[in-house]
Amino acid sequence: MKGQVRLIVIGAVILVAGALVYVSRRQQIQLQRGLAKAQEELRAAVPVEVVRPMRRELQETIQVMGTIKALQDVTVGSELVGRVVYVGAREGDFVKAGQVLIRLDDTAIRAQVDQARAAYMQALTRYEQAKAASQIPSTQADTDVEQALAQLEQLQSRLKQLQTSRELTYRETDLSVQQAEALVEIARNRVRELERQLEIVDEQLRNQLQQAEAEKRAAELTLKKLREGARPQEKEQARQQLLAAEANYKNAKLNYERTLKLYEQGAVAKAQLDEAQRQLETDQAAYEAAKAAYDLTLEGPRAEDIAVAEERLKQAEANLRNAQAAQKQRDILRSQLESARSQLRQAETQLELAKAAQLRRQIVEKDIEALQAQIKQLQATLKLAKAGRVRKVTAAKDIELAKAQVEQAKAMLDNALAMLSKTVIVAPVSGYIASKNVEVGNTVSPGVPLMRLVAAGAVEFEVDLSESDFAKGQDGQPVFVRVDTLPNQVLKGFVSKLVPVAEAASRQFKIKVILPGADRLVKPGSFARGEIVVRRIPNALVVPNECIVEWQGKTSVFVVVDGKTARQKPVKVGMRTAQWAQILEGLTENDQVIKGGLERLSDGTPVKVIGGE
């Protein structure tokens, strides 16, 4: 009896111990499963960086290129035909306004001035004699005869001078007209040739620039696509295609196996079995192709493909810079064309002056006729005086005639002095000699540029804009300009003038930008790049551009919810710059927006925040 009880106790102890071991082992298994599940979930979470929307000022800008020009660019020339005897400045010299630049040989003109001055003094003497003659008594016949002889001798000498001057004037005016007409024709041919060259160059540059820009955009898109890899939508599409191809392959395989059994039983024809086998092979090939495409989508582009795309982008950017730099040739042609047009206007003005000088022949002829009439009248007076019948001269008529002669002689003297003053060419403004096309001993003509003077002071930045960009421009807009010779400095200016007429060849509109104080840093003719600020948005809510997802016409971002889940959230985007996108609707400053790696996300994807703000 005692032995049976002992056995029962021992058995109960063993049962209890076994039960305890079984329960402990089951709890241990459940704990290990929980840990494994948590580790699997942790491994499945996508690591992401986040940013919070911030407030900052956004600026819309227009990138431009153009040329630095002086506000005053003066062409210095001569108004006379003459030989140069003095040149007072060289290229690069600074000259002050009024400083003598060129002197012409004035020997002949000084002789004309002396002759005109002598004629004026003679006319003035006759005028004084006419006034005094009105007081002469009729009894002074002998004195009248002597005076009449002296006046006759003076008038005859004056007549001889006028006749000699008439011949010289005729030859000079004819020569001036011929030279002016030749200069006008040369200038017109030069303008037509430069306009033709500029039209050709404009067309070539426009085509090169458009092609280079198109190649750069294509290269940027290709590189961006390769770097970003397949989008989540494309991966999902490839996966769905793989699943569909796999289902078709399985159905074809089952159909083939079923048809084979029926064929072995004699229930179907051999052609039906062949058709099932062909369909199986077709669906198998489609499945393998879909699987390979899906694998490639997951793997992403190869490094060598990205390297080739980067090299293509560098080449496209180099081609674009070359095309943009070639615009300097067009600017040079434009400058030459403006200079040629200025020369044409000067030549046309000189031709008009030369033709006007021909009209002075009539004045000379009238002077000669008037002088001959005076000689005849004086000869008649002399005869009367010799006959002893001279009486007091009628003062009013003779004084009026003598006064007219004084005024005419004074006008001729003033004209000769004006011509003399034109033999000295002075600087119209203070500035630097940009070019010099004359040397001592050269014979110069009106309308031919002798020097080019660039005025000291503020410079301007002249650019061309398309019609769409020109519509955004306004007076006073800030402009930031960079010049290659000042790589670390930005020049600040403002829009000073908008030319509302497009150039016929390029269809571009001109905008001029004043750069105060920049004349000490850059020189006219320099190539420059600029940035015109056309719009500002203060205190805009923004996120980086890499946060934005655009798909099928909809714009959204991914935000982190509860610190572990990515949710796709639609947003409305306003202004965009190279770095930032303005958020008009859909986000607040407290949201955590995922930045980068968006191709791995979809709505509801588990995420793990590893960095960011």
* Domain assignment present for 296: no
Q: What is the reported pLDDT for 26? A: 67
Co-location of 458 and 492 in the same domain: yes
Per-residue pLDDT tens over the stretch 12-29:
667 756 655 554 666 666
Co-location of 447 and 465 in the same domain: no
Lowest mean pLDDT among 194-208, 536-550, 566-580: 194-208
- Domain holding 435, by residue range, is 82-102+423-453
Q: What distance in Å separates the CA atoms of residue 337 and residue 331, rounded to the nearest whole number?
A: 10
Mean pLDDT value of segment 546-555 = 91
Which two tokens mark 516?
């105060």
Co-location of 480 and 445 in the same domain: no
With CA atoms as reference, report the closest residue to 599 among 186, 232, 345: 232
Q: What distance in Å separates the CA atoms of residue 512 and residue 420, rounded to the nearest whole number?
A: 40
Mean pLDDT value of segment 410-425 = 90
Angle 456-458-462 (CA atoms, 0-180°, nearest 5)? 115
User: Confidence class of residue 583 from pLDDT cuts 50, 70 and 90?
Assistant: very high
Which two tokens mark 160?
């001889």
Q: What distance in Å separates the CA atoms of residue 311 and residue 305, rounded to the nearest whole number?
A: 10
Co-location of 478 and 440 in the same domain: no
Q: What distance in Å separates the CA atoms of residue 119 and residue 162, rounded to the nearest whole number?
A: 10
Co-location of 523 and 482 in the same domain: yes
* Domain assignment present for 16: yes
Co-location of 448 and 490 in the same domain: no
Q: What distance in Å separates the CA atoms of residue 244 and residue 397, rounded to the nearest whole number?
A: 124
Co-location of 96 and 38 in the same domain: no
* Domain assignment present for 517: yes
Choosing from 537, 555, 579, the residue where a domain stops is 537
User: Confidence class of residue 393 from pLDDT cuts 50, 70 and 90?
Assistant: very low
Q: What distance in Å separates the CA atoms of residue 613 and residue 607, rounded to the nearest whole number?
A: 16
Lowest mean pLDDT among 37-46, 67-76, 308-317: 37-46
612 and 53 Cβ atoms separated by less than 8 Å: no
Amino acid letter for position 98: G
Half-sphere exposure of 110 (CA within 13 A, CB side): 6
With CA atoms as reference, report the closest residue to 516 among 461, 463, 464, 453: 461
Position with higher pLDDT, 585 vs 340: 585
- The number of domains in the chain is 3
CB atoms within 10 A of CB 256: 19
DSSP per position, 489-526: EEEEEEEEEE--S--TTT--EEEEEEETTGGGT--TT-
* Domain assignment present for 464: yes
Q: What distance in Å separates the CA atoms of residue 501 and residue 496, rounded to the nearest whole number?
A: 16
Which two tokens mark 493?
């200016």
Co-location of 463 and 517 in the same domain: yes
pLDDT tops 50 at residue 580: yes
pLDDT tops 50 at residue 42: no
Q: What percentage of the chain's residues is helix, strand, coil (to nearest 5)? A: 55, 25, 20
591 and 609 Cβ atoms separated by less than 8 Å: no
Co-location of 441 and 475 in the same domain: no
User: Confidence class of residue 395 from pLDDT cuts 50, 70 and 90?
Assistant: low
Close Cβ partners of 416 (under 8 Å, ≥ 6 residues apart): 109, 112, 113, 115, 116, 117
CATH classification at residue 469: 2.40.30.170
pLDDT tops 50 at residue 391: no
Tokens 């495409």 appear where? 293
335 and 171 Cβ atoms separated by less than 8 Å: no
3-state secondary structure of 568: strand
* Domain assignment present for 154: no
Choosing from 537, 563, 589, the residue where a domain stops is 537
Quick one: CA dihedral 46, 52, 53, 56, positive or negative?
negative
* Domain assignment present for 184: no
CATH classification at residue 436: 2.40.50.100
Co-location of 462 and 528 in the same domain: yes
**Single pTM value for the model:** 0.39
Q: Name the phi and psi angles at 95, rounded to 5.
A: -125, 150
pLDDT tops 90 at residue 584: yes
Choosing from 537, 557, 581, the residue where a domain stops is 537
pLDDT tops 60 at residue 60: yes
pLDDT tops 60 at residue 137: no
Mean pLDDT value of segment 260-268 = 87
Position with higher pLDDT, 433 vs 582: 582
Mean pLDDT value of segment 316-324 = 78
Which two tokens mark 247?
């289902």
Average model confidence (pLDDT) for the chain?
81
With CA atoms as reference, report the closest residue to 484 among 424, 513, 525, 456: 525
With CA atoms as reference, report the closest residue to 493 among 58, 57, 66: 66
* Domain assignment present for 314: no
- CA distances for 341 relative to 184, 334, 448, 505, angstroms: 11, 10, 12, 17
Co-location of 460 and 519 in the same domain: yes
Q: What distance in Å separates the CA atoms of residue 319 and residue 277, rounded to the nearest whole number?
A: 56
Q: What is the reported pLDDT for 129? A: 80
Could you tell me where the DSSP H helices lie in 265-326? Answer: 270-299, 303-325
pLDDT tops 60 at residue 159: yes
φ/ψ region of 507 (left if φ > 0, alpha if ψ in -120 to 50, else beta) reads left
CB atoms within 10 A of CB 576: 14
Q: Which helix (DSSP H) or strand (DSSP E) does residue 209 occupy?
A: helix 141-228
Parallel, antiparallel, or unpaired for β 46-51 and 607-612? parallel
- CA distances for 382 relative to 205, 385, 390, 391, 533, angstroms: 84, 5, 8, 11, 89
138 CA to centre of own chain: 86
Taking every pair of Cα atoms in the chain, the longest distance, rounded to a whole number of angstroms, is 207
562 and 592 Cβ atoms separated by less than 8 Å: no
**Please, is 8 exposed, middle or buried when counting C-beta atoms within 10 Å of its C-beta (0-12, 13-18, 19+)?**
exposed
φ/ψ region of 597 (left if φ > 0, alpha if ψ in -120 to 50, else beta) reads left
* Domain assignment present for 510: yes
Co-location of 448 and 507 in the same domain: no
